[in-house]
Amino acid sequence: MKLLLIEDEAQIANLVKAGLEREGYAVDWIADGLEGQRRIELYHGDYDLVILDLMLPGKNGIEICKDVRTKGISTPILILTAKSYIDDKVSALEGGADDYLTKPFDFKELFSRVKALLRRPKDRMTLELVASGIVLNPSSRRVTLDGEEISLTLKEFGILEYLMRHANQVVTRDDILFSVWDFHFDSFSNVVDVHINHLRKKLNRGNRGDILETIRGVGYRINATTEEHVLKA
């Protein structure tokens, strides 16, 4: 079991991390909101649970929660809130959190919430995306084309996953930049085109033609046939 802890107060983070590690869990700790969100987006398949503080440098926990849920990530999230205001609890749950815990808490209380969340059935592990003969597994990060494994870089994987989640739709460069890169990108650079070209070369095998379609002046598209079921995690 692996957990991601996003908390800026070192004292609390150390207590939670040490306590959970004593119980046999692996815990990755991140102190910044933006960095935490990026970690969830890229590696959510690696984590069984995210423990998320609300007041964070970079980005607020509720915003992070809403954003990752909008992107179809269903990893359980336990919110830690310093405030006992009912508003925070309501917005945490409305934002897609699975549970919340008010600070100060004792470790026993946290641990019982964690155990309860980890007992919930995992519906996210088995879903795969399928389009144009490509099978992409977001959890194992494996990609095959006509049954043959393709090796992709992190960015290429991110772009392909995004295109496949939006199969049969035209996605723009900005859509891809926003979903795959961090928030400090230069939107006038050709970074997306460069990665798209690499990805396209890896996908163009045999006599299939161009799997990754360029819609001139707009963006890109991957097509899924009616027999291919596009599953959204």
53 belongs to the binding site for Ca ion (CB under 5 A): yes
Q: How far is the CB of 126 from Ca ion (least distance, A)?
A: 35
Helix (H) or strand (E) segment spanning residue 213: strand 212-215
CB 137 within 8 A of CB 128: yes
Q: 37 or 132, CB closer to Ca ion?
A: 37
Q: Binding Ca ion by CB under 5 A: which of 1, 15, 42, 55?
A: 55
DSSP string, 92-151: HHHTT-SEEEESS--HHHHHHHHHHHHTS---SSS--EEETTEEEETTTTEEEETTEEE-
- Please list the residues that pair with 222 across neighbouring strands: 212
Q: How far is the CB of 9 from Ca ion (least distance, A)?
A: 5
Instruction: Give the number of residues in contact with Ca ion, rule: CB under 5 A.
Output: 3
* Interface region with Ca ion, contact rule CB under 5 A, candidates 14-22, 47-55, 61-69, 180-188: 47-55
Q: 55 or 130, CB closer to Ca ion?
A: 55
Single-letter amino acid, residue 130: V
* Interface region with Ca ion, contact rule CB under 5 A, candidates 5-13, 14-22, 38-46, 59-67: 5-13
88 belongs to the binding site for Ca ion (CB under 5 A): no
Q: To 10 degrees, what angle do helices 154-165 and 191-203 make?
A: 80
161 belongs to the binding site for Ca ion (CB under 5 A): no
Residue whose C-alpha is closest to residue 82's, from 175, 135, 9 = 9
Binding residues for Ca ion, rule: CB under 5 A, are: 8, 53, 55
